[in-house]
Amino acid sequence: MGMRVLVVDDSGFMRKRIVAELNSWGHSVVGEAKGGEEAVELYRALKPDVVTMDITMRDKDGMTAAREILLEDPMAKIVFLTILQGEKYKAEARKLGAVGFVNKSDPLSLAEAIEQMEQHKKK
């Protein structure tokens, strides 16, 4: 059985692509948020297994939203899915407690990250 995923990205086009990819791997997308504020609200309401989180967003950026979600639920599984590259962001994500940091141009890494979490969930 796939994971219940909440997709957070301010670009509708990217959300569409991520949802298509996740569906093709057998995961179900339970919600889509186009900003950090909406992500926190949807997380509270839906309690998904995984959140794919963009970083650069207009109202509230992904790092802030992830911090808020993890403060409320330290067991939340957040994978940053971003175009930003560099150790600085990865380190910040790790420090926050995110379980993954994936580049948007590399969807296979997202599949691998979610698969790892699925294995972890089964155990």
Partner 1 sequence: MASQYTTDGALASTTALAGADHVASYGRKPVPQPRGLISRRRILLGFCSLAILAIAVNIVFIVDAAMTSESARQAILNDARLITREATASALGQWPSLQTQGRFMNRLLILLGLSLACFGSFIYVFLRRFIAPLDEMTGSAIEVAGGNFNVSFPSGKHDEIGSLGEALYAVASNYQEVLLVTGTSAGRCRSTLDRMAEILAAEQKDSSPPAAYLKKYMIVLEQEIDMLRHMMNDFEFYQVHFDGRKAVRHAAATREAKE
What residue ranges bind partner 1 (CB under 8 A)? 9-14, 16-17, 20, 58, 83, 85, 103-108
**Cα→Cα distances 47→16, 57, 69, 87, 89, Å:** 21, 21, 10, 29, 25
Min dist CB 72 to partner 1, Å, is 25
Nearest distance from residue 13's CB to partner 1, in Å?
Answer: 4
Q: Closest CB to partner 1 among 1 and 108?
A: 108
Shorter beta-carbon distance to partner 1: residue 14 or 97: 14
Residues comprising the chain, all counted: 123
- Show the CA angle centred on residue 72, arms to residues 67 and 74, nearest 5°: 75
Q: Report how far residue 80's alpha carbon sits from residue 109's, in angstroms, rounded to the nearest whole number.
A: 11
Least distance to partner 1, CB of residue 106, Å: 8
